[in-house]
């Protein structure tokens, strides 16, 4: 409450009108020639490959849940699996222009997002950096499994793709060699070294946590943006609105020091698949009609909100590229309403009794993976049109075998392992080294010195 | 005389100096020094990006702190009253407490969530919710009741990588150090984690308290000594999780009688967990079961009627008389009998 902000009755009692800026809906226009020049054949095919992998990965999980086997290997997965079949283009498109230092936080339905972010990092990082990450993460334990199985055909990129597929699947299956030692599982899995940050089983849970991460980057002058990937129905949740409110505070631009850089670089990315737990937001449980409208209620620039066609990965890539510039310039927050559709049920046990087969068929006809494959072929961009992830890259990627659906291939589920590994060991980190002495100096207003022996201000003492 | 709030200030200022990532935020943290003036002076010392006011968004205050910490920074979010933890329920109980576990240690959570326990402000602003924080795994819970402990325990909390719910009592922000003879040291120091503090030595019974109830227990101990020659040993638990029972068990084995008291409502109070553990640790030496004196299982009434709700010195003496050690000639003014315990439980009040 700075006295500098004066509440002047003359100005607040004046009459007038509030103008709401127009909010664009699906404005991206595809231009294959331009897109070919902008991305190049290699990048476009990587986008397609990434989508194929996610499609195959999620289909594999679906098959395992429903039939108890996949490609002849029997396996019972007891835990949850909220699949994103149909949403691949939205996840992959988002990561096209993201770097490793850009963070994404997600939801319970984020397998595709984890893979997309990791693949994006793999495409961009040098081999030596990829090897360094894989060798050091969890003391190289997940990598050891891959190396035992002779993965990668000598290509570091292929090895890294196998590594990510394995680490995520092993995590979903509660294995100690999963990326979170099996303690996160399907709904909480993540891989921080590539910028895939915690995914949250609580609807909208990432809505305020991601804001804190964006504040960390802003306050500590760290590079990158932060994206909260949440669902359309999470727009009914308090934490999401509170996160938006804190991200949109005017003080970042009016009261904070200019060199800190402005508003925190946070993008609220609603993956809008038109269904939420227990209700349909558009038409039933929310009032906005189109989610992008929500930005209009928050600040003068309506959060730079847009509805984007998530079924076209290049439309999503274009939106993220433009919004990332806005965020890095300190002009956030941003809201994106990315429309998409899940072909599978909420989870494999969901028979989709709440929607018609005709509706699902409408979206299957426009399947985003097949559509992008056709786009590549039609415009001369395709290497060759592979049918499934198993066939890409020389058929080297077989996540199911790597994940040890073969019984006895993997260590037992995390909790049952006796000996040094115990869940209680990770509950409290007890890390007293997290003291971070002020090597760079702490920002203070008074006194030049941040030497604790020379305090800028006398403590109150009598 | 350095007060409890000044002691907290010193711990905060020190950590602001040595950890450049440390930030603090909440409602009314900047400009006015916080609702209880703990931050008075910090506005002049710190730039906005290290100390700022948020919107009234308790959930996101804790949620943003969670995200800030797991991204690599130290953070002190404040919820003005611990009653407001309800508004940040998911963030405290499902996010802040669990990400270290769910990430298998990949993430750290250097968060000290400062909350205060009120009084005189009625039903929604005067509750002691330490028991609720105690119940959810993954949280450390501290509750200092003296200036020495306030500085030493806040310093301890700020030095670690785990989430701490740090309770303070509004009743005693002004209080000076009454137990440590040397007062509050000017230099940096930490209180050893999980260790209760022996406030007064005694031989006839042990009284254990959490929070500001300590001072009413001191009153009760004085009454017991003066009127009945009963010597009470006083222990201030100050830590709820982690908690080392050694000192308490040793004391109870010596005295054979123990009474526990805090301002938390009796039903589901953490004191009952302590009582059960003490009974097991010192069963052979106990003359009778541990006695718990908590607040009534009601809403907190108006200030004028608070003495019917929170534990009073008189209740403690009455409970000693009724359940532990009959005091010759004592007239009770409150009902601490087992029949009353059963009646209340039957009625659910």
**Model pLDDT, residue A278:** 77
- Average pLDDT of span B75-88: 96
Gap between the Cα atoms of A26 and A24, Å rounded: 7
* Low-confidence residues of chain A: pLDDT under 50: 386-409, 417-421, 438-439, 448-462
Helix (H) / strand (E) element for B262: namely strand B258-265
Of A216, A430, A450, the CB nearest to B68: A216
**Model pLDDT, residue A394:** 28
Active-site choice (B125, B135, B277, B321)? B125
Question: Would you call A220 an interface residue with chain B, using a CB distance cutoff of 8 Å?
Answer: yes
Give the chain B residue nearest A243 (alpha carbons): B60
**Min distance A293 CA to chain B CA atoms (Å):** 22
**Model pLDDT, residue A3:** 86
Q: Which of A416-430, B14-28, B245-259 is predicted least confidently?
A: A416-430
Gap between the Cα atoms of A42 and A123, Å rounded: 10
Q: Which of residues A403 and B118 earns the better pLDDT score?
A: B118
Of A183, A207, A436, the CB nearest to B101: A183
**Model pLDDT, residue B210:** 98
B49 as an active site residue: the answer is: no
**Min distance B311 CA to chain A CA atoms (Å):** 33
What's the pTM? 0.93
Contact B67 A428 (CB under 8 A): no
Residues 6+ apart with CB under 8 A from A374: none
**Model pLDDT, residue A152:** 65
Range list of β-strands (E), A282-364: 306-309, 334-339
Residues in chain B with CB shorter than 8 Å from the CB of A207 are 60, 63
- Average pLDDT of span B264-285: 98
**Model pLDDT, residue A441:** 66
With beta carbons less than 8 A apart as the criterion, state whether B178 and B146 touch: yes
With beta carbons less than 8 A apart as the criterion, state whether B145 and B173 touch: no
Contact B71 A445 (CB under 8 A): no
Contact A431 B52 (CB under 8 A): no
Q: How far apart, in Å, are the Cα atoms of A190 and each of A51, A117, A155, A172, B46?
A: 18, 10, 24, 10, 35
Which CATH topology does B4-172 take?
Rossmann fold (3.40.50)
Contact A207 B23 (CB under 8 A): no
With beta carbons less than 8 A apart as the criterion, state whether A28 and A319 touch: yes
The per-residue pLDDT of chain B, averaged, comes to 96
**Model pLDDT, residue A443:** 86
For the domain with range B197-347, which CATH number is right: 3.90.1150.10, 1.10.10.1800, 3.40.640.10, 3.40.50.920? 3.40.50.920
Question: Would you call A371 an interface residue with chain B, using a CB distance cutoff of 8 Å?
Answer: no
Residue the block writes with tokens 């030692």: A181
Contact B17 A455 (CB under 8 A): yes
Tokens of B279: 């009974």
**Model pLDDT, residue A449:** 39
Give the chain B residue nearest A184 (alpha carbons): B102
- Average pLDDT of span B118-123: 90
pLDDT in tens, B184-199: 999 999 999 999 999 9
Neighbouring-strand partners of residue A339: A272, A309
Contact A436 B74 (CB under 8 A): yes
In eight-state DSSP terms, residue B324 is I
Residues in chain A with CB shorter than 8 Å from the CB of B150 are none
Using the CB atoms, write b or e for B121-149: b if 16+ within 10 Å.
Answer: bbeebbbbbbbbbbebebbbbbbbbbbbb
Instruction: Spell out the domain ranges in chain B.
Output: 4-172, 197-347
Looking at the structure, give the CATH architecture of the domain made up of residues A20-421: 3-Layer(aba) Sandwich (3.40)
Q: Which of residues A222 and B31 earns the better pLDDT score?
A: A222
**Min distance A375 CA to chain B CA atoms (Å):** 39
Determine if residue A178 is left, alpha or beta; phi over 0 gives left, psi from -120 to 50 gives alpha, anything else beta: beta
> Exposed, middle or buried by CB within 10 Å (0-12, 13-18, 19+), for A376?
buried
With beta carbons less than 8 A apart as the criterion, state whether B219 and B37 touch: no
> CA A402, A405, A407: angle at the middle one, nearest 5?
120
Nearest to B109 by CA among B93, B96, B122: B96
pLDDT in tens, B203-218: 999 999 999 999 999 9
**Model pLDDT, residue B278:** 98
Mutate to test the interface with A, among B59, B72, B75, B87 (most CBs of A within 10 A): B59
Residues in chain A with CB shorter than 8 Å from the CB of B53 are 1, 251
């Amino acid at each position: 409450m700075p006295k500098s902000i004066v509440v002047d009755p003359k100005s607040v009692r004046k009459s007038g009108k509030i103008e709401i800026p127009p909010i664009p809906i699906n404005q991206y226009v595809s231009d294959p020639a331009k897109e070919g020049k902008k991305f190049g054949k290699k990048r476009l095919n990587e986008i397609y490959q990434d989508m194929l992998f996610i499609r195959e990965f999620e289909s594999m999980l679906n098959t395992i849940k429903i039939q108890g086997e996949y490609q002849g290997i029997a396996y019972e997965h007891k835990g949850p699996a909220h699949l994103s079949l149909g949403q691949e283009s939205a996840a992959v498109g988002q990561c096209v222009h993201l770097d490793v230092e850009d963070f994404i936080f997600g939801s319970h339905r984020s397998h595709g997002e984890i893979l997309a972010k990791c693949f994006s990092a793999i495409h961009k990082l040098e081999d030596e950096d990829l090897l360094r990450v894989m060798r050091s993460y969890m003391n190289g334990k997940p990598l050891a499994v891959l190396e035992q199985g002779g993965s990668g055909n000598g290509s570091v990129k292929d090895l890294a793709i196998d590594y990510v597929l394995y680490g995520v699947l092993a995590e979903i299956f509660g294995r100690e060699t999963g990326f979170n030692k099996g303690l996160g599982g399907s709904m909480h899995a993540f891989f921080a070294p590539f910028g895939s940050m915690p995914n949250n089983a609580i609807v909208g849970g990432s809505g305020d946590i991601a804001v804190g991460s964006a504040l960390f980057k802003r306050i500590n002058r760290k590079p990158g943006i932060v994206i909260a990937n949440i669902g359309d129905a999470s727009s009914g949740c308090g934490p999401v609105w509170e996160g938006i409110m804190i991200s949109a505070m005017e003080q970042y631009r009016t009261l904070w020091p200019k060199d800190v850089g402005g508003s925190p670089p946070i993008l609220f990315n609603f993956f809008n698949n038109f269904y939420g737990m227990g209700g349909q937001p558009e038409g039933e449980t929310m009032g906005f009609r189109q989610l992008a409208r929500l930005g209009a209620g928050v600040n003068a620039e309506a959060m730079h909100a847009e509805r984007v066609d998530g079924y076209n990965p290049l439309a999503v890539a274009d939106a993220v590229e433009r919004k990332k510039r806005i965020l890095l310039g300190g002009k956030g927050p941003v809201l994106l309403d990315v429309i998409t559709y899940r072909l599978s049920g909420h989870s494999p046990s969901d028979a989709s009794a709440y929607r018609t087969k005709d509706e699902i068929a409408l979206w299957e006809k426009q399947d985003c993976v097949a559509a992008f494959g056709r786009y590549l072929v039609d415009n001369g961009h395709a290497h060759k049109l592979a049918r499934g992830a198993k066939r890409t890259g020389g058929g080297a990627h077989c996540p199911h075998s790597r994940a040890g659906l073969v019984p006895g291939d993997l260590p037992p589920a995390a909790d049952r392992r006796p000996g040094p590994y115990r869940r209680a060991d990770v509950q409290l980190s007890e890390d007293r080294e997290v003291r971070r002495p002020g090597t760079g100096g702490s920002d203070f207003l008074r006194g030049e010195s941040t030497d604790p022996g020379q305090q800028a201000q006398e403590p109150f003492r009598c | 005389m350095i007060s409890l709030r000044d002691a907290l200030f010193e711990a905060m200022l020190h950590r602001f100096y040595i950890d450049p990532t440390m930030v603090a935020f909440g409602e009314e943290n900047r400009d006015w020094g916080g609702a209880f003036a703990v931050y008075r002076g910090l506005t002049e010392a710190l730039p906005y990006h290290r100390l700022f006011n948020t919107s009234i968004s308790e959930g996101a205050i804790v949620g943003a702190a969670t995200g800030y910490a797991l991204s690599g920074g130290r953070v002190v979010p404040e919820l003005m009253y611990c009653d407001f933890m309800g508004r940040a329920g998911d963030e405290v109980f499902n996010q802040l407490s669990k990400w270290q576990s769910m990430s298998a240690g990949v993430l750290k959570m250097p968060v000290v969530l400062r909350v205060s326990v009120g009084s005189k402000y009625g039903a929604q602003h005067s509750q002691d919710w330490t028991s609720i924080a105690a119940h959810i795994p993954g949280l450390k819970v501290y509750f200092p009741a003296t200036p020495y402990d306030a500085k030493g325990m806040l310093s301890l909390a700020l030095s670690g990588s785990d989430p701490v719910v740090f309770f303070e009592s509004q009743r005693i922000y002004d209080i000076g150090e009454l137990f440590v003879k040397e007062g509050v040291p000017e230099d940096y120091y930490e209180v050893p984690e999980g260790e209760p503090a022996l406030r007064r030595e005694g031989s006839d019974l042990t009284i254990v308290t959490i929070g500001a109830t300590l001072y009413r227990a001191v009153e009760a101990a004085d009454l017991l000594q003066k009127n009945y020659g009963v010597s009470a040993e006083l222990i201030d638990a100050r830590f709820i999780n982690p908690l080392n029972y050694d000192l308490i068990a040793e004391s109870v084995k010596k005295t054979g009688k123990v009474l526990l008291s805090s301002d938390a409502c009796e039903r589901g109070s953490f004191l009952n967990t302590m009582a059960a553990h003490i009974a097991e640790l010192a069963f052979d030496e106990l003359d009778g079961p541990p006695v718990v004196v908590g607040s009534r299982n009601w809403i907190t009434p108006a200030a004028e009627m608070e003495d019917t709700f929170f534990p009073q010195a008189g209740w403690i003496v009455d409970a000693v008389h009724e359940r532990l050690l009959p005091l010759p000639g004592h007239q009770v003014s409150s009902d601490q009998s087992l029949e009353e315990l059963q009646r209340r439980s039957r009625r659910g009040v």
